Amino acid sequence: MSVVDRFFKYVSFDTQSSETSDTTPSTEKQMNLAKALKVEMEAMGLQDISLDEHAYLMATLPANTDAKIPTIGFIAHLDTSPDMSGENVKPRMVRNYDGKEIVLNEKEKVVLSPVMFPELLGHLGEDLIVTDGTTLLGADDKAGIAEIMTAIQYLVDHPEIQHGKVRIAFNPDEEIGMGASKFDVPKFGCEWAYTMDGGDLGELEYENFNAAAAKITVKGLNVHPGYAKNKMVNAGLLAVQFAGMLPPQERPEHTEGYEGFFHLTGINGTVEEATLSYIVRDHDKNRFDQRLKLLQDTTDYLNKVYPENTVTLEIKQQYRNMREIVEPQKHIVELAENAMKALGITPLVRPIRGGTDGAQLSFKGLPCPNIFAGGLNFHGRYEWVPVQSMEKAVNVIIKIIELNK
């Protein structure tokens, strides 16, 4: 089965995760794909196949040499984003892309345009898999799953390629930040691994944001507006004031590269009570700590101007930059770089402007850089993936395994 055939099969499964669930997996439908993949693994003749009650699926491609070779792994996630429906996905192929607009849905006037998405022009002449404009595609991360399964099948079919023991794993709930929460690192049994969850061709990442979530709650005092002078404290206006005290140039829409940000993800309020929800991100640990301090300083200032405890701040640490774990073992990044170069692919080593299961896994004892899976415009109706990028990702996996000595 080709990587494209596998991809089309996997995106037929709706595996959208849920941020409101308190179970693992957060949605039972993720287990449906895990069970189908388990059947495929059994048919391939893989060993040590296990699927636990939380939808963590693992398997082994045994070594075919007596040489002492480190055991490495490849990981992808089962779920798709809660941001848009992944039900009844209807992917289609646009062959030999000509650089023009792609009409995804004529009825709803959904158009994938190189004016809005100039990345398209980097894939002229290639075959693009796109959506019908009503759902996301699911390349994040079913492209990664398809690539790993296809690479492992190739090695099963070509025993002349000598290799050490290889472990593969597919986990739930990456999109809600819980993909590594119940990942059994000792059971996986690898010296290091790679997540196949990156974007465009050549991406190789071992740095990610330090991340936290912040919730600001403002308690107001509501009295009749006709008699409010020197009495009313309007919580809604105070929430707006708080937001305005944070640097406006440090929002996601104004940042790139290594620049961190404060991102207001939600605001609700009345005169009586208001809440602000933020995510806070920065690659640099010191700057990250300074961002959290600014939130606290802003809270403290407003509590001096207004009655004490008018504003409260809750901070929840989410994940850390895996660079501090991976960089001392830079050979695992260099192995992936060398594999790409051997295949004529230019490695694009850059920081992730987001999170990854690999970050949490790295801090759990499994160093885990991230490699491109080929998809672009994740989490929405404009998501697409070039066939040629998926095929090259398959070759990168095979070459890493081949070069691992």
User: Would you call 172 helix, strand, or coil by DSSP?
Assistant: coil
When pLDDT is cut at 50, 70 and 90, the band that residue 356 belongs to is confident
What is the share, in percent, of the chain residues with pLDDT greater than 90? 96
| Per-residue model confidence (pLDDT) at position 11 | 98
Residue 284 annotated to the active site: no
pLDDT digits (tens, 9 = 90+) for 174-192: 998 889 999 999 999 999 9
If asked whether residues 78 and 200 sit together in one domain, one would say yes
Are 239 and 177 within 8 A, CB to CB? no
If asked whether residues 66 and 182 sit together in one domain, one would say yes
Neighbour count for residue 257 (Cβ, 10 Å): 8
- The domain total for the chain is 2
CA dist list (Å): 188 to 223, 277, 338: 60, 36, 25
Identity at 337, one-letter amino acid code: E
When pLDDT is cut at 50, 70 and 90, the band that residue 63 belongs to is very high
If asked whether residues 398 and 328 sit together in one domain, one would say yes
If asked whether residues 185 and 329 sit together in one domain, one would say yes
| Per-residue model confidence (pLDDT) at position 318 | 86
**Mean residue pLDDT across the chain:** 96
If asked whether residues 12 and 89 sit together in one domain, one would say yes
Are 317 and 212 within 8 A, CB to CB? yes
What is the share, in percent, of the chain residues with pLDDT greater than 70? 100
Q: Which of 14, 79, 173, 175 does the annotation list as catalytic?
A: 79
Q: How far apart are CA 111 and CA 95, in angstroms?
A: 17
Neighbour count for residue 158 (Cβ, 10 Å): 9
Q: What CATH number does residue 230 fall under?
A: 3.30.70.360
If asked whether residues 233 and 198 sit together in one domain, one would say no
If asked whether residues 102 and 247 sit together in one domain, one would say no
| C-alpha neighbours within 13 Å on the C-beta side of residue 142 | 32
If asked whether residues 52 and 97 sit together in one domain, one would say yes
Q: How far apart are CA 66 and CA 231, in angstroms?
A: 80
pLDDT digits (tens, 9 = 90+) for 371-393: 999 999 999 999 999 999 999 99
What is the domain range of residue 270? 210-319
| Per-residue model confidence (pLDDT) at position 333 | 97
If asked whether residues 57 and 111 sit together in one domain, one would say yes
Q: How far apart are CA 209 and CA 318, in angstroms?
A: 10
Are 72 and 193 within 8 A, CB to CB? yes
Q: What CATH number does residue 66 fall under?
A: 3.40.630.10
- Looking up tokens 């620049």 gives 259
Nearest C-alpha neighbor of 181 from the set 29, 332, 343, 318:
318
Q: How far apart are CA 277 and CA 279, in angstroms?
A: 7
If asked whether residues 200 and 221 sit together in one domain, one would say no
Among 270, 287, 319, identify where a domain stops. Answer: 319
Mean pLDDT of 212-240: 95
Return all residues near 104 (Cβ < 8 A) that are at least 6 apart.
Answer: 110, 111, 112, 130, 131, 132, 133, 381, 382
pLDDT digits (tens, 9 = 90+) for 252-308: 999 999 999 999 999 999 999 999 999 999 999 999 999 999 999 999 999 999 998
Per DSSP bridges, beta strands 128-130 and 47-51 are unpaired
- Looking up tokens 């995510």 gives 279
Q: Which of 14, 147, 173, 174 does the annotation list as catalytic?
A: 174
Residue 259 annotated to the active site: no
Structure tokens, 1: 């089965």
Return all residues near 267 (Cβ < 8 A) that are at least 6 apart.
Answer: 239, 243, 274, 275, 276, 277
Q: How far apart are CA 153 and CA 163, in angstroms?
A: 14
pLDDT digits (tens, 9 = 90+) for 234-263: 999 999 999 999 999 999 999 999 999 999
If asked whether residues 254 and 369 sit together in one domain, one would say no
Are 303 and 310 within 8 A, CB to CB? yes
Q: Is the pLDDT of residue 355 over 80?
A: no
Among 270, 298, 319, identify where a domain stops. Answer: 319
Among 284, 319, 354, identify where a domain stops. Answer: 319
Identity at 50, one-letter amino acid code: S
Terminal Cα-to-Cα distance of the chain (whole angstroms): 28
Backbone angles phi, psi at 176, to 5 degrees: -110, 15
